[in-house]
Amino acid sequence: MFAQALGEPAVRPADDFLALGGDSLAAVRLLSRLRRTFQTELSLPDFVAHRSPAALAGLLADRPDIERTAAALLHLHALSAGERRDLARRLACPT
Domain boundaries, the chain: 2-63, 66-95
Q: What is the mean pLDDT of residues 6-31?
A: 91
Has residue 20 got a pLDDT over 90? yes
What average pLDDT does the structure give for the chain?
80
Architecture of domain 2-63: Orthogonal Bundle (1.10)
95 CA to centre of own chain = 18
65-79: pLDDT as tens digits: 666 666 665 556 666
Distance CA 8, CA 94 (A): 25
What's the confidence (pLDDT) of residue 73?
58
Selected residue with higher pLDDT from 82 and 19:
19
Instruction: Give the distance from CA 86 to its chain's centroid.
Output: 23
Helix/strand/coil for 37: helix
How far apart CA 21 and CA 35 sit, in angstroms, is 22
pTM above 0.75, yes or no: no
Residues contacting residue 57 through CB under 8 Å, at least 6 positions apart: 13
